[in-house]
Amino acid sequence: MKIGWIGLGNMGIPIASNLIKAGFNVKIYNRTAAKGEELVKQGAVQAENLQELVETSDVIFTMVSDDAAVKSLYFDQNLFGLADAGKIFIDMSTVSPKTSKELYNVAKKSAVSFLDAPVSGSVQPAKDGTLIVLVGGEEATYQQVKPLFEPMSKMSLYLGDSGSGSNAKLAINLLLGITVQGIAESVLFAQNQGINTEDMLTIISESAVGTAISKMKTPSILHNDFPAAFALKHMAKDLRLASETDELLPIGTSANETYQQALANNLGDEDVMAVIEQLRKK
């Protein structure tokens, strides 16, 4: 299958790179063409425009920042309208399930296939090819493209009808947001009681509640430095989408409020763990 890839952000570049390394024919497009230079060196072909990319690809991946960017691509720039019948579109962006279902319905009318397939994992798992791909749409379409998910992930899961992938992504990021806030609150409580921060983080990571995320975020907490592996603004967006999809329960509601406040206090470009700075102010 010839692959088209649209969107070369922090996640898109390593995922497309893994497809190239696996031997797939990959054509790329990004509004800022310079972002594709690294992939071109690896063997990708840079498309002049969206029409060229869609016309010469069997499967078109999109991975952009939010609902507005996705709608701009598919609706304002008429991505489905550029495609012959039978093409397959896979959106890996984290967007509202409502948006994914809307795209699926428009795709059907255009005689093309559409899957929502966001991923669980951040930049390092994207580089390592150990993401988890969460797929919604028609199962027959998923089976067709399943081999494409293998170079980028440790597993792909078919979860049901259109929007299921997006719902699962919001659910796992809800847990992530709660977990990161919980780590921050535990550390701050310990600090206020005179417990050494490094000792407390060791207790967390080595106990039954220790997780990969607690170990991963330990250096940032200790150095009070939060370079973005997963930017806080994206977590704030995901929790907002979750709250718009369904009424959140108490812990989820608290997390959503905290991240929205952190976003309003200019912490959006910091790593999600910078939520500890928001909580420290309280």
Query: Catalytic: 169?
Result: yes
In order, the DSSP letters of 233-263 are: HHHHHHHHHHHHHS---HHHHHHHHHHHHHH
Ramachandran sector of residue 119 (left: φ over 0; alpha: ψ -120 to 50; beta: rest):
beta
- Residue 184 amino acid letter: A
Catalytic residue, chosen from 27, 87, 101, 169, is 169
The encoded tokens of residue 62 equal: 């999109």
**How far apart are the C-alpha atoms of 206 and 93, rounded to whole Å?**
34
Q: Which residues of 201-213 are buried (b: 16+ CB within 10 A; e: fewer)?
A: beebbeeeeeeeb
SS3 122: coil
**Alpha-carbon separation of residue 227 from 129, 208, 220, 272, 273 (angstroms):** 21, 27, 8, 9, 9
Please list the residues that pair with 29 across neighbouring strands. 6
Please identify every residue annotated as catalytic: 169
